[in-house]
Amino acid sequence: MLRLADHPQVLRVHEKYVKEKWRPWAERDCQHRAVLEIYTELFSMYQKQQRFRESHEVVVGFGLLTWKPAGTYEVKRHVLTVQAELSFNALKGVISLRLGGNGAQDQMWLFHSVTKNDLSTQCLRYRLLEYAENPQIAPLTIEGLNVGKLKIDVQTVDREQTKPPEPFDSWFEVDVFLWMHGRGYRVIPQFEVADYHIDLVVEGMHGRLAVECDGDFWHGPERYEADMIRERMGCGSDPEQRRSRR
């Protein structure tokens, strides 16, 4: 019988292999297995959704309340449930979850027996009650975008020589963005939809408004047909969608 302890050179090679090769691989493999387990479960749900569409519903639950009434079994209920729909891209192998589905959307009914005065301001239930009493869109923070600096730049930079900061395509977009942002609106620049990008999307409590900032310098007559295709893809037949032209 051969023992590694009797062969120090072989032992050193083995230890180096374990440290530099096997352990990193094992850590990555554990992560991949966890992801694969979730992916497999989601794909199984997707197959059931496609096969039993009339009798099978995908629902996402948020929060979990548990209580045990005296002399009976434990009761568990989600704080909030939302209808959802799974989609599968066979070419990329990507599973996507979209909230809303085809049923009732954008509604929340909250039944409660306590008031905010009964709860701590740090309690999640307090925050839920506060939102239900005064719902509002939270301010949007865009990574890498400094609105304060942007306000200075629009007044000082030479627009003919300086490109607009990312993610904007033109200084006209920056002007419109700042105008709406300054009035308290939640504005998302370069919103992606159906492989196209909408210049600006304004989000409110009851919907979204798409804004396209098309100046002649930026797009021109040769882009009109492509613009109309993009508008149909992004806006569809929604009468709330409007275009802003310079």
Residue 215 belongs to some domain of the structure: yes
pLDDT at 155 over 60: yes
Which one-letter amino acid corresponds to residue 114?
Answer: V
pLDDT at 156: 92
Residue 104 belongs to some domain of the structure: no
Task: For residue 157, give Cα distances in angstroms to 56, 112, 150, 152, 239.
Answer: 57, 54, 10, 8, 37
Give the structural domain span for 34. 1-56
pLDDT at 176: 93
Residue 214 belongs to some domain of the structure: yes
What is the percentage of the chain residues whose pLDDT exceeds 90? 11
pLDDT at 240: 45
Residue 245 belongs to what H/E stretch? strand 244-245
Q: How far apart are CA 30 and CA 45, in angstroms?
A: 23
Residue 25 belongs to some domain of the structure: yes
Residue 32 belongs to some domain of the structure: yes
Give residue-wise pLDDT tens across range 216-243.
555 555 565 666 665 655 554 443 444 4
Residue 225 belongs to some domain of the structure: yes
Q: How far apart are CA 136 and CA 104, in angstroms?
A: 20
pLDDT at 177: 93
Task: For residue 184, give Cα distances in angstroms to 118, 140, 202, 241.
Answer: 32, 11, 11, 19
Which residue has better confidence, 104 or 147? 147
Q: How far apart are CA 4 and CA 193, in angstroms?
A: 60
Give residue-wise pLDDT tens across range 124-135.
888 888 888 887
Number of domains comprising the chain: 2
Which of 202, 213, 209, 139 is closest to 174 using CA atoms?
213
Partners of 198 in beta bridges: 191
Among the three residues 56, 79, 97, which one is the final residue of a domain in this structure? 56
Residue 189 belongs to some domain of the structure: yes
Q: State pTM to two decimals.
A: 0.43
Over range 33-49, report the average pLDDT: 88
Give residue-wise pLDDT tens across range 190-208.
888 766 788 899 987 777 8
Give residue-wise pLDDT tens across range 69-79.
787 888 888 88
Residue 236 belongs to some domain of the structure: yes
